[in-house]
Chains A and B, each alone.
Chain A
Amino acid sequence: MKQQIIVSGIGGQGVLFLTRVIAQIAVNQGAPVLTSETHGMAQRGGTVLSTIKIGHFSSPLIRTAQADLGIFLWEANLPVHRPLLKTAGKLLINTDKDGEGIRIDAAKIARQLGNAVLLNLLLLGVAVNHKALICTAEECEAAIKQLAPARFTGQNLAAFHMGLSSST
């Protein structure tokens, strides 16, 4: 089984952490995984993109119209990274506006949980809820527990569950 995923956002939103969680889930499943990430200057609030390829691949980069799933933490990146998604690919967007794809005001809910940056794992919950990722909620929880610093595990799991049970 192969899956190609993009995670798009801006520096500081937790794109890297979400990328690592998704990749760790694949590793725990015993699947080969490759990711690419944005580090350096662009991380200072600029547009960042992660790509994740699960299954037997040789390179982490994704060609135009090849991604099965696009998770957008920053809606304004749509014109920049939307073309990477397949026509039939699933689109998941943090936004307070209406439009295409699965949309949720994740920032608002995360803020209510205490920190807007939790929107990354909230979106992971929504993705699992919509069966956009090939994994179970338990597998996500295990990966979050593995990667989150102990003192943040609780709120990270809470954000994930909030997304998982959302009606969106």
Chain B
Amino acid sequence: MKEQIQLLMGNEAIGQGLIEAGCQIAAAYPGTPSTEILQAVIDRQKQAVEPLHIEWSVNEKIAFEVALAASYTGKRSVAVMKQVGLNVAADPFMRTAYIGVKGGMLTIVADDPGPHSSQNEQDTRLFCLQARVPVVDPASPAEAKDLIEPAFELSEKYETNIVLRPTTRICHSRQNVSISEPITLGRQANFELDTPRWAATPAFLPALHRKLNTNLEKIAVEPDWQPRWTSGDNSQPRTALIASGIVYGNLVDLLEELNLSNKIDLYQVLMPYPLNPGFSKKIHEKYDHILILEETYPVIELQLAHPGAVGKQNGSVPREGELTPDVIHQALAAFLDLAPAEEKPEERRGQRPSLCPGCSHRAAFYSIKKCFPTGIYPSDIGCYTLGMNLGAVHTVHCMGACISQGAGFYQAYQQDKGEFPTVVVTIGDSTFFHAGIPALINAVIQKTRMIIVILDNATAAMTGGQPVPHMGIAAGDKPTKAVAIEPLIKASGVDFMEVCNPYDNERFESLLKKADEYIRSPEGGVAVLIARHGCIMDPLVRKAQNSFLVTINESCIGCRICVDKFECSALFMDRENKFAVVDQDRCIGCGTCIPVCPVAAIVKQEKS
């Protein structure tokens, strides 16, 4: 294959880079903005010249540990996750810094400054500083790909895990990227026993810690990973700009637009940790004024500790949110005494996201709210977070938290006078497998009385439909053993379990009431309802179900219940705000809105 140029999304470029670098074990748990990386590896697996195991792991900790042990055998491996996934994988990640790896191992952690699709905007670079793991911060999709092979080499040279930290604007950008032939490494699995290392007890750890510190000193001065300097023309003496990641790209474009290219000394920091002390010394000696631009936390700034630094610590650069070109313009204008950036127009929010028309979660949430108007509704991470639009989601925290939070709510209320509100927990199938099972066992043994509704749509929907353990399909549509939800629930000690399609609102609501009776009965405990209906984004699900022509007739009284309380985006009020109308472009004809109407004005008929 001769070198060719393709338009690739950053995540695809990274996936391509992994294949080209001879990565043989790739494990991930989906999470925006990282998801398409493993998908890209799946899509390109035929290009691989050596055996390649790809897996959607049950969670990030597992993905990391699978990739880690594979690296012990001398093969190249990768674990891929979003930034909060690293919290889940934190335990093995932290220890790996001391123990190290054998074959090259990368941990690709996609950060989400903004945040666009996350529960926080934590900075993996700062995490790496605390974990003492080197981290590289690419500034474009093409650069992210180009860094992968050298990062594997660095990992192997020092037998250390290396983190590649793209951000949303790298992951979800497209760029012309050059494609090459995968390299052939010809490695056979060969786990060399070294028990004092691989099973290091405290007795061995001081020496390992010492080695880690020595390695970090050496990595910090590795010539290929030094900050890249673009010289200015000395028109701004003793002044420099320092940036990393996509912020560097934003800054380069801005300087050009302002005719400031090559006027001011500019540094791109490729590896924000460990930062070369020599670089730090040079910055201290050569410059009095520096502007530091990085997302999201002041990682370079903290390490440089320059008295003339302008950045997040002195508040000149916003400490939260993305450093967009507009934000950088304001900071740069203030730093260089330029004409102030034109007042940025007030940021306006567009249309909020909403559960898809026909989504069974909407029907489930509406019924839950209807049955328990004063209930407490802990929920979780996924499409169904959008149940908050229906007022049926009260808390969202992190993967699997809803079950333990539900238990916490129950314990806090019941200890007062023994009275407690109905706690209805909603959790998706993928989230349940990820972190819900230990929480369920805990809730059962702590004698919690609450209802858990598992919103089982047979996929990890929010991230685009990755396989889940109970469907018997693994990465790349390969058949595997299915691990069903029901036996797991039973084995966790749950005595009340029912399965229902929430499209059947009457049955679902009667089961919710039955579940409430159960949790309040003397022998009551955790009740589990599995609300099962395939994700409507799946074309096979849509094909398999009836699609009606749904319309609203003249008996509509304009009460807005279907538009506001049911909140289907295929329903809207007409221009005079008098009657509800069905948007036939968006309606999929499921008819779940029909029982919602108090005057039976929503009607369905067979499509002609």
Interface residues of A (CB under 8 A from B): 10-12, 19-20, 23-24, 27, 32-47, 53, 57-66, 74, 76-77, 79-81, 83, 107, 111, 116
Contact = CB atoms under 8 A, between A and B. Distances in A.
Nearest to A39: B172
Contacts of A59: 140, 169, 246, 249-250, 252-253, 325
B257 interface: yes
Contacts, number: 134
Interface in B369-419: 383, 385-386
Interface string B494-538: 000000000000000000000000000000000000000000000
A74 B351 CA distance: 10
* Most chain B C-beta atoms within 10 Å of own C-beta, residue among A11, A33, A40, A76: A40
A68 to B, nearest CB: 13
Given A10-B351, A11-B353, A61-B324, A44 B175 contact: no
Given A39-B117, A59-B249, A64-B326, A34 B174 contact: yes
Contacts of B324: 61, 63
Nearest to A8: B350
Interface in B1-36: 5-7, 9, 32-33, 36
A121 to B, nearest CB: 16
A107 B155 CA distance: 53
Interface in B553-579: 569
Given A39-B32, A40-B462, A58-B253, A80 B349 contact: yes
Interface of B: 5-7, 9, 32-33, 36, 116-117, 139-140, 169, 172-176, 246, 248-250, 252-254, 257, 324-326, 329, 342, 344-345, 348-356, 383, 385-386, 462-463, 569, 585-586
What are the 6 A-B residue pairs with the smallest beta carbon separation, nearest first?
Answer: A47-B350, A40-B117, A46-B353, A59-B249, A40-B32, A63-B325
Nearest to A111: B585
Contacts of B116: 38, 40-42
Q: Is the interface of A mostly helix, strand, loop or mixed?
A: mixed
Given A27-B7, A58-B140, A58-B252, 19 more contacts: A12-B586, A20-B7, A34-B173, A35-B175, A37-B9, A37-B174, A39-B33, A39-B36, A39-B172, A40-B117, A42-B116, A44-B355, A45-B356, A59-B169, A60-B174, A60-B175, A61-B246, A66-B257, A66-B325
B351 A27 contact: no
Contact of A41 (B169, B173, B344, B353): B353
A53 to B, nearest CB: 8
Given A23-B7, A63-B325, A80-B348, A45 B569 contact: yes
A67 B174 CA distance: 18
Contact of A34 (B6, B140, B248): B140
A3 B351 CA distance: 27
Contact of A44 (B140, B253, B353): B353
A107 B586 CA distance: 12
Contacts of A47: 349-351
